[in-house]
């Protein structure tokens, strides 16, 4: 028996004594579960399913919402919306021999109070080497400099307190109840190469990684739902940013040998074959495995590509997308790389042009122009659509994807030049949380680390997000009596 939910993925069991799964979910967000089962592997047949919420006596057929229904091959529990309390959904399937499998999900309803304005989650797990720091090579800020960037960036947000409102993900879990206190959340992640075998994983991966509809292993006990997706569904706003943040939706077994660009709707379901080797069959257009993925549904993305310092990841002459060019691979590390970030060209008139800060890109520093530029993710690039290059990518982006910045490269003929590296997602822009001070607003993704941008430029961009889009209150400066 497999039970699937949009935010937790799937739970699987072959027992009527499966331990209860526990899920935290926002008040007012509808909950839907789909039930499937098979007995083919031992020659049995499914007789039917039954389910019900908050059943005091499971042995009483009258207390189930629906009793065993013959010849029903799948079942979908109708959406239920709760606003307080704890509720338990029981789902059961029976075969022709009377054997049953049962799943119980206990749902704790979390109130989104939005008492505080802004939370910064520091999920940058990169190692600070001996040369780290703006006073060194400029390859990366120290942890303290990274924290100071966000402390300065949020200084004018009303009530922002660096002690309370900045979380370092050295801890391994951030409960939904913590996020439910905030109107808006910044999640800054280091995702580069973190899917390599043996590499440390950012906490973000545990939440937004794609959950296959038919996993080889299914969770139990206290579940880790996609808290960012739940926050957006509840009416909160997120800013996802950092070094390759969206890559974290890709399953680890996939990205160990992944090929990019990746098509989220069709390519998130691949992984290890029976032999243990990575397998990447052509997308099945009849089976959109990624339709519930965070990248596709909440972020409104069809494809993801990269601009990189070293080698190209883009596939050339791909059998089912026919990309007719391959990005320049670059030369030695001392040579310039055409497709990395020199700055960000504003595609949205409300935003300023961005350039790399001199501490990182000045003469003699790691990202100086004659060395190489900053990594950036490239979102929904047009070269996947031009001339029908890929039959699996729509001719036009969905309206919920609204580009903000395009990549600045050395070479204006480089295919990634001016392709989107930051965007609004309006997929949940009309959701307003059931709490005082809540507003309807878009969420945003920056496919690069804001800490590497010239602070005065980045601050102008962030202030537009904070105060114009998210309508956060500005700090009130209290002056002493008699002072100007």
Q: Are residues 261 and 138 in the same domain?
A: yes
The confidence score (pLDDT) of residue 416 equals 83
Name the domain count of the chain: 2
Radius of gyration (Cα) for the chain, nearest Å? 24
pLDDT tens-place string over residues 147-174: 999 999 999 999 999 999 999 887 678 9
Q: Which of 81, 110, 139 is the last residue of a domain?
A: 110
Q: Are residues 106 and 121 in the same domain?
A: no
Strand intervals (E) in 328-416: 343-346, 354-355, 376-379, 401-408
The confidence score (pLDDT) of residue 123 equals 93
| Comparison of pLDDT for 462 and 275, the residue scoring more | 462
Q: What's the rounded Cα separation, in Å, for the pair 252 and 250?
A: 6
For residue 54, the domain's CATH number is: 2.60.40
The confidence score (pLDDT) of residue 232 equals 96
pLDDT tens-place string over residues 423-433: 999 999 999 98
Q: Which of 110, 125, 160 is the last residue of a domain?
A: 110
Q: Are residues 211 and 323 in the same domain?
A: yes
- Residue 484 located in a structural domain: no
- Residue 149 located in a structural domain: yes
Residue 57 pLDDT > 70: yes
The confidence score (pLDDT) of residue 333 equals 44
Burial tier of 426 (Cβ tally within 10 Å: 0-12, 13-18, 19+): middle
- Residue 83 located in a structural domain: yes
3-state secondary structure of 181: coil
Backbone angles phi, psi at 468, to 5 degrees: -95, -45
Those residues whose C-beta lies under 8 Å from the C-beta of residue 52, and which sit 6 or more positions away, are 63, 64, 65, 66, 89, 90
- Residue 481 located in a structural domain: no
Q: Are residues 198 and 244 in the same domain?
A: yes
pLDDT tens-place string over residues 304-352: 988 765 434 344 444 455 444 434 334 444 455 667 787 889 999 999 9
> Whole-prediction pTM value?
0.89
As a whole-number percent, the residues of the chain with pLDDT over 90 amount to 50
pLDDT tens-place string over residues 19-49: 999 999 999 999 999 999 989 888 998 998 9
- Residue 474 located in a structural domain: no
β-pairing, 303-307 vs 376-379, is antiparallel
Q: Are residues 257 and 338 in the same domain?
A: yes
Q: Are residues 96 and 145 in the same domain?
A: no
The whole domain housing 17 covers 2-110
Q: Are residues 77 and 182 in the same domain?
A: no
Q: Are residues 127 and 180 in the same domain?
A: yes
Residue 196 pLDDT > 70: no
Q: Which of 110, 140, 159 is the last residue of a domain?
A: 110
Q: What's the rounded Cα separation, in Å, for the pair 399 and 393?
A: 15
CB 74 within 8 A of CB 36: yes
pLDDT tens-place string over residues 73-96: 688 999 999 999 999 999 999 999
Q: What's the rounded Cα separation, in Å, for the pair 470 and 463?
A: 10
Those residues whose C-beta lies under 8 Å from the C-beta of residue 286, and which sit 6 or more positions away, are none
The confidence score (pLDDT) of residue 437 equals 86
């Amino acid at each position: 028996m497999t039970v699937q939910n949009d935010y937790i993925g799937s739970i699987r069991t072959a027992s009527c004594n499966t331990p209860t799964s526990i899920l935290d979910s926002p008040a007012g967000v509808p909950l839907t579960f789909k039930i499937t089962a098979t007995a083919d592997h031992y020659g049995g047949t499914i007789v039917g399913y039954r389910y019900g919420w908050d059943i005091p006596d499971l042995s009483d057929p009258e207390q189930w919402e629906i009793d065993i229904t013959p010849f029903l091959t799948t079942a979908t529990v109708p959406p239920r919306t709760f606003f307080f309390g704890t509720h338990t959904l029981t789902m059961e399937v029976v075969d022709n021999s009377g054997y049953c499998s049962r799943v119980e999900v206990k749902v704790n309803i979390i109130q989104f109070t939005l008492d505080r304005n802004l939370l910064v989650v520091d999920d940058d797990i990169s190692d600070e080497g001996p040369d780290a720091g703006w006073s060194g090579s400029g390859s990366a800020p120290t942890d303290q400099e990274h924290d100071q960037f966000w402390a300065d960036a949020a200084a004018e947000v009303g009530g922002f307190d660096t002690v309370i409102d900045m979380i370092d993900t050295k801890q391994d879990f951030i409960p939904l109840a913590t996020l439910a206190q905030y109107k808006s959340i910044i999640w800054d992640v280091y995702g580069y190469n973190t899917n390599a075998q043996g590499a440390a994983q950012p906490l973000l991966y545990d939440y937004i990684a794609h959950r296959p509809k038919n996993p080889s292993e299914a969770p139990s006990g206290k579940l880790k739902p996609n808290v960012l997706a739940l926050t957006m569904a509840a009416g909160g706003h997120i800013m996802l940013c950092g070094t390759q943040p969206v890559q974290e939706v890709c399953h680890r077994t996939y990205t160990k040998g992944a090929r990019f660009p990746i098509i989220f709707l069709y390519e998130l379901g691949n992984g290890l074959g029976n032999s243990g080797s990575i397998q990447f069959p052509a997308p099945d257009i009849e089976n959109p495995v990624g339709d519930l993925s965070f990248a596709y549904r909440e972020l409104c993305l069809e494809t993801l590509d990269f601009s990189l310092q070293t080698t190209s990841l883009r596939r050339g002459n791909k059998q089912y997308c026919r990309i007719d060019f391959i990005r320049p691979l670059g030369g030695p590390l001392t040579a310039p790389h055409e497709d990395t970030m020199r700055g960000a060209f504003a595609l949205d008139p409300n935003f300023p042009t961005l350039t790399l800060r001199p501490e990182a890109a000045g003469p003699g520093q790691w990202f100086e122009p004659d060395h190489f530029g900053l990594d950036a993710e490239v979102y929904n690039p047009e070269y996947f659509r031009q001339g029908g290059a890929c039959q699996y990518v729509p001719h036009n982006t969905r309206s919920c994807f609204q580009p903000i910045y395009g990549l600045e490269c050395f070479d204006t003929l480089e295919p990634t030049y001016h392709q989107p590296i930051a965007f609004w997602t309006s997929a949940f822009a009309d959701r307003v949380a059931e709490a005082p001070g809540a507003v309807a607003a878009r969420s945003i993704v920056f496919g690069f680390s804001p800490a590497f941008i010239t602070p005065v430029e980045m601050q102008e961009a962030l202030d537009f997000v904070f105060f114009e889009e998210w309508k956060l209150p500005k700090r009130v400066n209290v002056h002493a009596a008699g002072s100007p």
